[in-house]
C-alpha cells in the first residue's frame, strides 16, 4: 500500500467522509488503490506522496485550473500579495478592481459580491434574489452546492435532485419545514417550468446554463421571457461553466442575459474566489439582509482572479480547452467504435464526460482507472481540459485507452471476466456513507 492509501485510512478515522469534497474521495476513482494525496502539482502533472509522477487526464482539481496547476504568473502575483500581507483591518483594493472588471465583462450587471466557494456564492445569490423578489419559492435546474436551501429540495419527494448531477444527496439535518420551498425542473422542459410557475408562487429561477447538453427550441430565451413576464429573478449558476467556452459566462454564447450570475472554479485558477454578479436593482437587496464573512476579505483570492482573468484574456484559454475537449470526445468516440465498446458522451467539450453501457459499466470504469494509473495517468470517464494538455499526453493516453477498450470488448464478448481483472473494489457512483 502506498503512503497515500495509508494516510487515507487514517483520514477516515479523523474526518467524517474522509475528504472535504465528494468528487475527491478515493472511492470515486479506485477504492483501496488510489494515491489519494499529492506532494506537488504543476502544469497538468501531479506527484503522489511516494514521489510518483502522473499526468492528470481526469478532473484537474475538479475544473479549477484551466491554466494548469501552479501557473507561474498567477503564483507570482499571489506571492507578492503574501509578502505585502494577506489580511489586515483594512479591506483589500483588489476586490474593487475585480468587481469593476466583472461588471465590464457582464455589461448588463452593475454590482458584485465575493465569496470563496461555489456553494457560498449560491447561498448569497439565493438570499439576495429572495430578498429582491420578496418571495420564498425557488425553481432550480442543476447542481448548486451543499447548503440547506438547495438540499431542502430532497424533502419534497424522495431524491428530487437525482436528475440534477448528483443522486443520493441526503438532506438529514436540513430543517423539514423547508419542504416545498425549492422545486426542480428538467433542462429543456419549458412546459414543466411553466406549470411550476402557474402552481407555485415562484420568486427566483436558478439554473445552470448548460451542463450535459445545450438548449433546444430556444429554451434559455423562453426561460428569460417567463422570468421577465412573472417578475421572477433569473439567476445563472456559471460556477462551473464560466470561462470555458467564452471569456465569461457560457450565456454569452446563447445571447440570453440573467439578472444575477455566479462565477467560481476557473476564475482564480486554483485559488479560492467566487463572485455573484448582478443588476443593481437586485443586488441592492443585499443591503436589506445580513451577508458578511471574515475570510471573504482576504487578499489572495481577488489577486489570483485579477491575474487569471488577465492571462485567460491574453491566451484565449477557453478556445484552447474547447479544442482539446473536442479532440478528446472524438478520440473516445473513434476508439470505442473501433473496439466495439458502447459509450455515451456528454458535457461541453472543456468538461467532457462519458459512461459505459450495461450492468458492468462501473466495473469497466474502475478497470480503466486502475490500468491508467499503472501507466502513470490519472483518468476516469471524464476529462477537464487545461491549456497544459498537449499532443504528447493525448497520444500516451489514447495508446493505453486502446488496450483497455480491447479488454472491455473481450469482457463483453465473454472471452474475459471483468471481476478477475479488478485489483480492488468497484468505484462509487454518487454520494453514500463510508464505512
Ligand atoms: N454550482 C455549480 C454549477 C457547480 O458545478 C458547483 C461545484 N461542482 C457548485 C455550485 C458548488 O461549488 P463548491 O463546490 O465550490 O461549493
Contacts with 249 (C-beta within 8 Å, 6 or more apart), sequence order? 106, 209, 236, 238, 241, 242, 261, 263
Instruction: Report the C-alpha gap between 343 and 59 in whole angstroms.
Output: 19
* Distance between Cα 118 and ligand 1 center (Å): 5
Burial of 162 (0-12, 13-18, 19+ CB in 10 A): middle
The pLDDT, as a whole number, for residue 335 is 98
388: Cβ below 6 Å to ligand 1?
A: no
Burial of 64 (0-12, 13-18, 19+ CB in 10 A): buried
| Mutational pocket test of ligand 1: of 145, 212, 258, the residue with most ligand atoms within 8 Å of the beta carbon | 145
What are the backbone angles phi and psi of residue 146, rounded to the nearest 5°? -105, 0
| Mutational pocket test of ligand 1: of 64, 65, 239, the residue with most ligand atoms within 8 Å of the beta carbon | 239
Question: Whole-prediction pTM value?
Answer: 0.97
The pLDDT, as a whole number, for residue 323 is 98
**Count of positions (residues) in the chain:** 435
* Distance between Cα 145 and ligand 1 center (Å): 5
239: Cβ below 6 Å to ligand 1?
A: yes
* Distance between Cα 167 and ligand 1 center (Å): 15
| Mutational pocket test of ligand 1: of 59, 126, 144, 270, the residue with most ligand atoms within 8 Å of the beta carbon | 144
The pLDDT, as a whole number, for residue 155 is 94
* Distance between Cα 402 and ligand 1 center (Å): 33
* Distance between Cα 265 and ligand 1 center (Å): 8
Q: Are 51 and 38 in contact (CB under 8 A)?
A: no
264: Cβ below 6 Å to ligand 1?
A: yes
Instruction: Report the C-alpha gap between 403 and 43 in whole angstroms.
Output: 26
Closest CA to 139 of 222, 234, 66: 234
Burial of 21 (0-12, 13-18, 19+ CB in 10 A): exposed
Contacts with 340 (C-beta within 8 Å, 6 or more apart), sequence order? 409, 412
Q: Are 328 and 353 in contact (CB under 8 A)?
A: no
Q: Are 300 and 78 in contact (CB under 8 A)?
A: yes
Task: Give the residue, by CA position, lying nearest to ligand 1 atom 5.
Answer: 240
Instruction: Please give the number of the atom of ligand 1 that sits closest to the Cα of 62.
Output: 8
Instruction: Please give the number of the atom of ligand 1 that sits closest to the Cα of 265.
Output: 15
- At 212, is the pLDDT very low, low, confident or very high (cuts 50, 70, 90)? confident
What is the number of other CB atoms lying within 10 angstroms of the CB of residue 290?
Answer: 7
Contacts with 17 (C-beta within 8 Å, 6 or more apart), sequence order? 25, 434
Task: Give the residue, by CA position, lying nearest to ligand 1 atom 15.
Answer: 118
Q: Are 266 and 244 in contact (CB under 8 A)?
A: yes
Where does 255-390 have alpha helices with state H? Answer: 280-283, 300-315, 317-339, 361-374
Instruction: Please give the number of the atom of ligand 1 that sits closest to the Cα of 237.
Output: 3
- List the grid coordinates of 246: 467564452
| Mutational pocket test of ligand 1: of 116, 118, 146, the residue with most ligand atoms within 8 Å of the beta carbon | 118
* Distance between Cα 240 and ligand 1 center (Å): 6
Q: Are 188 and 213 in contact (CB under 8 A)?
A: yes
- List the grid coordinates of 402: 486502446
The pLDDT, as a whole number, for residue 430 is 86
Closest CA to 393 of 45, 52, 35, 71: 45
Sign (positive or negative) of CA dihedral 377, 383, 389, 394: positive
Q: Tens of pLDDT along 228-275? A: 999 999 999 999 999 999 999 999 999 999 999 999 999 999 999 999
Q: Tens of pLDDT along 49-102? A: 999 999 999 999 999 999 999 999 999 999 999 999 999 999 999 999 999 999
Task: Give the residue, by CA position, lying nearest to ligand 1 atom 1.
Answer: 144
Instruction: Report the C-alpha gap between 365 and 354 in whole angstroms.
Output: 10
Q: Give the C-alpha distances (Å, rounded to integers) separating 323 from 264, 366, 390.
A: 22, 27, 11
Instruction: Please give the number of the atom of ligand 1 that sits closest to the Cα of 264.
Output: 15
26: Cβ below 6 Å to ligand 1?
A: no
CA 103 to chain CA centroid, nearest Å: 23
Instruction: Report the C-alpha gap between 262 and 275 in whole angstroms.
Output: 5
Q: Tens of pLDDT along 115-154? A: 999 999 999 999 999 999 999 999 999 999 999 999 999 9
Amino acid at each position: 500500500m502506498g503512503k497515500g492509501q495509508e494516510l487515507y485510512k487514517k483520514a477516515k478515522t479523523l474526518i467524517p467522509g474522509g475528504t472535504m469534497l465528494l468528487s475527491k474521495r478515493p472511492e470515486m476513482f479506485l477504492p483501496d488503490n488510489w494515491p489519494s494525496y499529492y506532494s506537488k502539482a504543476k502544469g497538468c502533472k501531479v506527484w503522489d506522496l511516494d514521489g510518483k509522477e502522473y499526468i492528470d487526464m481526469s478532473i484537474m482539481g475538479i475544473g479549477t485550473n484551466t491554466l494548469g496547476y501552479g501557473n507561474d504568473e498567477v503564483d507570482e502575483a499571489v506571492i507578492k500579495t503574501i509578502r505585502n500581507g494577506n489580511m489586515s483591518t483594512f479591506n483589500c483594493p483588489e476586490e474593487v478592481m475585480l468587481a469593476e472588471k466583472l461588471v465590464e465583462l457582464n455589461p448588463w450587471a452593475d454590482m458584485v459580491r465575493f465569496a470563496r466557494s461555489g456553494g457560498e456564492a449560491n447561498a448569497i445569490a439565493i438570499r439576495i434574489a429572495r430578498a429582491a423578489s420578496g418571495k420564498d419559492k425557488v425553481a432550480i435546474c442543476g447542481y448548486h452546492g451543499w447548503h440547506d436551501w438547495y438540499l431542502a429540495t430532497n424533502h419534497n419527494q424522495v431524491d428530487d435532485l437525482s436528475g440534477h448531477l448528483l443522486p443520493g444527496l441526503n438532506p438529514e439535518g436540513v430543517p423539514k419545514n423547508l419542504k416545498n420551498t425549492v422545486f426542480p425542473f428538467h433542462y429543456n422542459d419549458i412546459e414543466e417550468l411553466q406549470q411550476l410557475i402557474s402552481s407555485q408562487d415562484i420568486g427566483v429561477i436558478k439554473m445552470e446554463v448548460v451542463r450535459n447538453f445545450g438548449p433546444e427550441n430556444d429554451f434559455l430565451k423562453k426561460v428569460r421571457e417567463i422570468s421577465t413576464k412573472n417578475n421572477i429573478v433569473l439567476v445563472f449558476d456559471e460556477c462551473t461553466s464560466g470561462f470555458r467556452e467564452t471569456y465569461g459566462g457560457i450565456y454569452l454564447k446563447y445571447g440570453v442575459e440573467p439578472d444575477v450570475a455566479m462565477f467560481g472554479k476557473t476564475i482564480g485558477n486554483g485559488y479560492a474566489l467566487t463572485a455573484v454578479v448582478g443588476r443593481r436593482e437586485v443586488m441592492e437587496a443585499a443591503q436589506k439582509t445580513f451577508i458578511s464573512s471574515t475570510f471573504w476579505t482576504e487578499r489572495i483570492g481577488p489577486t489570483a482572479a485579477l491575474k487569471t482573468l488577465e492571462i485567460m484574456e491574453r491566451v484565449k484559454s477557453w478556445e484552447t480547452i474547447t479544442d482539446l475537449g473536442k479532440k478528446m470526445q472524438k478520440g473516445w468516440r473513434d476508439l470505442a467504435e473501433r473496439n466495439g465498446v458502447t459509450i455515451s458522451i456528454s458535457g461541453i467539450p472543456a468538461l467532457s464526460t462519458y459512461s459505459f453501457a450495461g450492468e458492468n459499466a462501473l466495473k469497466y470504469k474502475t478497470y480503466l482507472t486502475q490500468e491508467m494509473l499503472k501507466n502513470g495517468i490519472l483518468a476516469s470517464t471524464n476529462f477537464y481540459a487545461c491549456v497544459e494538455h498537449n499532443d504528447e499526453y493525448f497520444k500516451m493516453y489514447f495508446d493505453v485507452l486502446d488496450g483497455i477498450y480491447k479488454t472491455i470488448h473481450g469482457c463483453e464478448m465473454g472471452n474475459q471476466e471483468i471481476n478477475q481483472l479488478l485489483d480492488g473494489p468497484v468505484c462509487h457512483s454518487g454520494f453514500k456513507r463510508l464505512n
